Amino acid sequence: MRLFRNTIAAFGLMLPLHQLSAWAQNLSHGADNFYRSDIVTVTPITFRDQYRTMIQGNLFTRTNLSHIIDSPAIIVGHPMSAVREQSANPYAAKLAEQGFVTVSLDLPFWGATGGEPRNGVSPDIYAEAYSAAVDYLGTRDFVDRERIGILGICGSGGFVINMGAVNRDGLRKSQTLEQRRAIIAAAAEQRWVEAHGGKIQYSGGVPSQLTANTSAVDREFYGFYFTPRGEFIPEGTRRELETQRTTTSNPKFMNFYPFNDIDSISLRPLLFISGDQAHSREFSERAYALAKEPKELFWVPGAGHVDLYDRVGLIPFTKLTQFFRENLH
């Protein structure tokens, strides 16, 4: 297992129902998902992982970067079911402004990166993509391979310190063992359909339309993925399937237990960042409790999960810059 020198995870947001309608129409609140910097050069890049999948990404460097000096670098991972244009790129641009070499990438099966079926789930292959990004950066003559960190947003925080638990147990342990078994059984039945040449089924993800029964959490994600605030649909992707995953592969998350080995990251420092209003804050709290020193849990007052995707006025870039400068020395 490739261990990164630094890992941060950002999780969080839930708004009261009575606020959702007005909030969905107001796409500002500091949101700047498509942020571009006048002092940062963005270069499309490709590299292969160990499974020979072609990974698509972006390389961000300050325009005045010296290619003679070996610089520290940071890999930025997008939220689960997103692509690098959603959240990862603005983080990478902001940190590149501070002098870091940064890379955003599309995980396998998502966005412009290869892998079939599209929207497939494989935590091991996702993690390998980050290792491949380390390989890519470590072979650049202007990057110090001993000073490479990783920043994971939402599901990419590690990858991943929450997706296994949330798929097994639900938020706040709301999913029963019987419900978990039913999900696995349904996936097994769907495998027979697809084995006989039937249509691939997709499930989960964010609803592409709101109804009176849409939950507060789903409305929160809808406000990012299906409004101009953060909507970015990769070529060839049907809008309603943008964030959904293949039904037969999604149970692989249930066999993913990253918490079991989180102590092995030490002595590499860990910074967990979460909005204090996040519906997902329990995963940051649990990960922090299990991790060994050096570690820190940083709360963003008044912020939640999707807030930390793109609301640049809330995202603690100063904290991130300080953390990486101190630990990628």
User: Is residue 147 in a domain?
Assistant: yes
**C-alpha to C-alpha distance for 258 and 157, rounded to whole angstroms:** 11
| Owning domain of residue 37 | 7-174+250-327
Residue 203 lies in a domain: no
Number of domains, the chain: 1
Q: How far apart are CA 308 and CA 221, in angstroms?
A: 12
pLDDT tens digit string along 187-238?
A: 878 978 887 899 999 998 898 889 999 999 999 999 999 999 999 988 878 8
Percent of all residues in the chain with a pLDDT value above 70, rounded to a whole number: 90
In a domain, 103, yes or no: yes
34 within some domain: yes
H or E, element range at 192: helix 177-195
Q: Is residue 303 part of a domain?
A: yes
pLDDT tens per residue, range 107-147: 999 999 999 999 999 988 998 899 899 999 999 999 999 99
d(Cα 83, Cα 244) in Å, to the nearest integer?
12
Q: Tell me if 191 is assigned to some domain.
A: no
CATH label of the domain that carries residue 113: 3.40.50.1820
Query: To the nearest whole percent, how much of the chain has pLDDT over 90?
Result: 61
4-to-129, 152, 253, 292, 294 alpha-carbon distances in Å: 13, 12, 21, 15, 14
Provide the whole-model pTM. 0.84
Task: Answer whether residue 230 is part of any domain.
Answer: no
Asked if the structure places residue 200 within a domain, the reply is no
* pLDDT on residue 158: 61
Q: Structure tokens of 199?
A: 């249509």
Burial-class residue 116 by CB neighbours within 10 Å (0-12, 13-18, 19+).
Answer: exposed
